[in-house]
Amino acid sequence: MVAKGYGAIASVRNGFAVTLLLAGAAVAEPVTVVALGDSLTAGYGLADQSQGFAPVLQGWLAERGHEVVVQNAGVSGDTTAGGLARVGWALGPEADALIVTLGGNDLLRGIDPAASRANLDGILKEAAARDLPVLLVAMKAPGNFGPEYKAAFDAMYGDLAADYGTLLAEDFFAGLRAVGADPSDPASLAAYMQPDGLHPNPEGVKLIVEGLGPQVEALLAVVQERDGQDP
């Protein structure tokens, strides 16, 4: 009787172990999103890097039930050319999706929009070759380079998104505009920017993430649809 009892207990234990293994196998791995950008992505000037764009976005998504790792692939000072030069190694084998936030430094340097467009095209081509969904985040040109420059620069993001079928966020600073802050008006930005007037402070980062968050959720939905998971 003892032997039979022990055998029954062992059978239950073995069955329980198998159940646990199957349950573990069914748990989806977190989605890895690579955020390719410049100082706005890198968290330039912030005393605590946990207050930067990538970690704040990851936390925002986690609060909404998304298991996501947002990799910070931002390099301060990077232009679209710099992003193109390093996108190949920035996208590791674990990457499931890509956010592209580049162009601000092209504007500061007055780079020809045709060159910026060609660089972004190369980045999107690399993502397409890896079958990675992309959220392309647009920057808005100021008017100081003239109307033709502004029209060409502003149009390239939408044109490229249409060419490659990527998601498009039309303005990186939409979250700031939503509270009445205008990137072209330094006075209205003072509460949300660092003293240099170019980079967001922690409160500014939060607002930027709130503005972009829904588009990132749409990006995750594309990943989950491809993987056959429920959004």
- Provide the angle, in degrees to the nearest 10, between the axes of the packed helices 113-129 and 147-164: 10
**Do 84 and 122 contact (CB within 8 A), yes or no?**
yes
Pairing of strands 97-101, 134-137: parallel
Choice among 48, 131, 196, 230 that is catalytic: 196
Q: How far apart are the C-alpha atoms of 39 and 31, rounded to whole Å?
A: 24
Q: Is 39 a catalytic residue?
A: yes
Choice among 38, 66, 96, 199 that is catalytic: 199
Q: Is 196 a catalytic residue?
A: yes
Q: Is 11 a catalytic residue?
A: no
Q: Classify 144 as helix, strand or coil.
A: helix
Choice among 39, 78, 96, 116 that is catalytic: 39
Adjacency order of strands within the sheet including 134-137: 68-74, 31-37, 97-101, 134-137, 167-169
Q: Just list the catalytic residues.
A: 39, 196, 199
